[in-house]
């Protein structure tokens, strides 16, 4: 069995990236990666493959997750829900990490996480749940339910072209997230206390966060821009915002679109927290940094040192190892332990 990470080149930035790579003497050829994260070319999506070519990647990921779950203090539950997309109803599954300290009479925070191109919810949970388990067991993070979800309606939507994912990212951020919240927070005791009405979700947003890796980070930026009323915390990991792509928006316009929801709601910097993160050797840094700099420059009273942060995972690249490191760094900042 082989484990590898596969990347596709972003056609919009290939010339600049090749030039930068040559100048840095790091080479420009494509190469396979293992989970230790040894360099790649561009900041676009990765695919996690941990299976023989004739095996089902999702089945393999689920099997691995169930094995990992045996070693946790907390548990991994499966949530099944139905989601309509383009006239077809799909039966979908998400995985919920439930901390050992969870009690049905005490509300818990909730973090929703999603994967990147070609990934799946089980694979993400397999890599991240042990880190969350350690944080919560050690008291470094407050009791938090972590929901691992996929934006693919079914596996057939995982194509060779990662750019096709963005339609699904946008749909998940603006529509499916409502279905998922209802499925999760009507079952578990969160600060919504079983009431998933608009009013209740708004009132409990301080205890709800959303995050994702790569194209999941792109989804996260859309949630921040378009579903801010339901979430206080955001963890975009190794991915920039694609909002405004349909109009070929420049950096100031992207910053305007990203902050439109904040301005419309008349929120201040105390009303949200964006904890962006990326590996120091991950070329996603090249796309994230200009956007974050633009947000800080154009909206200094809104995007402060507290409300918008960028943490760089030293020595790491676009890898599962870095995802785990980023969650380990960010979760205690969003929901600190006592």
Axis crossing angle, helix 251-258 with helix 284-298, rounded to the nearest 10: 70
Band (55; pLDDT cuts 50, 70, 90): low
Q: What is the mean pLDDT of the chain?
A: 88
Specify the 3-state DSSP secondary structure of 308.
Answer: strand
- Exposed/middle/buried for residue 114 (C-beta within 10 Å: 0-12, 13-18, 19+): buried
Domains observed in the chain = 58-334 (3.40.50.1820)
List pLDDT tens digits, range 80-104. 999 999 999 999 999 999 999 999 9
Lowest mean pLDDT among 44-58, 67-81, 152-166: 44-58
Q: Which residue has 């600060």 as its token pair?
A: 191
Residue 308, pLDDT score: 99
How far is residue 123's CA from residue 83's CA, in Å, rounded to a whole number?
A: 21
End-to-end, the C-alpha distance of the chain in Å comes to 42
The b-or-e profile of 194-219 (16+ CB within 10 A means b, else e) is: eebeeebbeebbebbbbbbbbbbbbb
Q: Which residue has 């799946």 as its token pair?
A: 120
Q: What are phi and psi of 54, to 5 degrees?
A: -95, 10
Helices marked H in the chain: 14-23, 57-69, 121-137, 165-171, 177-185, 198-203, 215-226, 251-258, 260-265, 284-298, 320-334
How long, in residues, is the chain?
338
């Amino acid at each position: 069995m082989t484990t590898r990470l596969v990347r596709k080149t972003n056609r919009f930035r290939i010339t600049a990236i090749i030039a930068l790579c040559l100048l840095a003497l790091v080479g420009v050829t494509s190469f396979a990666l293992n989970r230790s994260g040894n360099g790649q070319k561009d900041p676009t999506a990765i695919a996690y493959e941990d299976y023989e070519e004739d095996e089902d990647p999702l089945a393999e990921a689920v099997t691995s997750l169930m094995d990992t779950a045996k070693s946790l203090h907390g548990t991994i539950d499966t949530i099944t829900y139905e989601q309509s997309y383009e006239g077809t109803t799909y039966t979908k599954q998400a995985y919920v990490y439930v901390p050992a300290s969870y009690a049905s009479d005490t509300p818990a925070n909730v973090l929703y996480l999603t994967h990147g191109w070609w990934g799946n919810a089980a694979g993400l949970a397999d890599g991240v749940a042990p880190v969350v388990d350690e944080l919560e067991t050690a008291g470094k993070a407050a009791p938090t339910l972590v929901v691992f979800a996929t934006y693919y309606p079914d596996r057939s939507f995982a194509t060779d072209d990662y750019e096709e994912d963005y339609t699904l990212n946008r749909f998940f951020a603006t529509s499916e997230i409502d279905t998922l919240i209802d499925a999760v927070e009507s079952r578990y005791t969160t600060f919504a206390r079983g009431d998933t009405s608009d009013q209740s979700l708004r009132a409990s947003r301080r205890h709800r966060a959303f995050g994702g890796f790569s194209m999941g980070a792109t989804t996260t930026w859309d949630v921040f821009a378009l579903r801010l009323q339901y979430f206080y915390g955001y963890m975009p990991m190794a991915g920039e915002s694609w909002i405004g792509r349909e109009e070929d928006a420049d950096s100031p316009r992207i910053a305007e679109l990203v902050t439109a929801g904040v301005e419309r709601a008349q929120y201040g910097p105390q009303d949200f927290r964006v904890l962006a993160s990326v590996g120091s050797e991950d070329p996603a840094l090249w796309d994230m940094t200009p956007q974050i700099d633009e947000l800080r420059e154009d909206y200094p009273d809104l995007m402060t040192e507290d409300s918008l942060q960028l943490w760089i995972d030293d020595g790491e690249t676009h890898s599962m190892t870095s995802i785990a490191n980023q969650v380990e760094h960010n979760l205690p900042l969003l929901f600190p332990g006592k």
